[in-house]
Structure 1
Amino acid sequence: MLRLKLARVYEELKWIEKNAHNSALKEKSFKDFEAIERRVSNINVSMLDAKELYDLKVHVDQVRGRLKLVH
């Protein structure tokens, strides 16, 4: 179940990065990104799955940095 949640988030991040240079999608990208951040911060995992969640949070931060560079 957790891996499915994480895979969905990664797909959304991929879409945001792919469309980062599209000014027509700028507002949607930021709203979608904020929603992702909220969802990720609310995911609870066992200690066994903590690394996967931590890795996802690092990747979310990296995408945030790239979005700031583009816009």
Structure 2
Amino acid sequence: MKSPDLTEWIQRYFQEYLVRQRNVSPATVAAYRDTFRLLLQYWRQKRRQALATLSLESLTPDTV
């Protein structure tokens, strides 16, 4: 079985963890969404790598 890619993990984080388990406000979800957008934009521009190459394992303190 193929392991979930990063986009699936992010989607699960928002839908299952933040919304269902933590019951956070829509404003919190929007703030987290914007943070992920900035991270992905940084990855694409500064690291000069396609987002398709980004994996959960590649997100380390050193790369962020």
Query: Could you tell me the TM-score, scaled by structure 2's length?
Result: 0.44
Q: Which has the higher contact order (CA 8 A, sep 6+)?
A: 1
Query: Could you tell me the TM-score, scaled by structure 1's length?
Result: 0.40
Higher-helix-fraction structure = 1
